Amino acid sequence: MHDMNPKPCAADLRDRDFDLIYVYAGSSGDAPVHEELPARQVEPGVYELLASPGLTLNLAKGDLVRIDAPDRPATVLKRGGNYCIQIYGDAIPDHEIDRLASEVASELRGTLDGRHGGSLALSVPSGAGGERIRTVFDGFTERTALAWYYANIYRNFEDPEDETLLDWWLER
pLDDT of 16 reads 66
Domain ranges of the chain: 2-78, 82-150
- The 3-class secondary structure across the chain, one letter per residue, is CEEECCEECCHHHCCCCCEEEEEEEEEECCEEEEEEEEEEEEECCEEEECCCCCCCCCCCCCCEEECCCCCCCCEEEECCCEEEEEEECCCCCHHHHHHHHHHHHHHHCCEEEEEECCEEEEEEEHHHCHHHHHHHHHHHHHHHCCCEEECCCECCCCCCCCCCECCHHHHC
Per-residue pLDDT band at 10 (split at 50, 70, 90): low
Largest CA distance in the chain: 44
Please report which confidence band the pLDDT of residue 4 belongs to, taking 50, 70 and 90 as the band edges: very low
Level-2 CATH architecture, domain 82-150: 2-Layer Sandwich (3.30)
CA gyration radius for the chain? 15
| Rounded-to-integer distance, Cα 53 and Cα 36, Å | 8
pLDDT tens-digit map of 85-137: 999 999 999 999 999 999 999 999 999 999 998 999 999 999 999 999 999 99
Q: Considering the entire predicted model, what is its pTM? A: 0.87
| pLDDT tens, position by position, 29-70 | 889 999 999 999 999 999 999 999 999 999 999 999 999 998
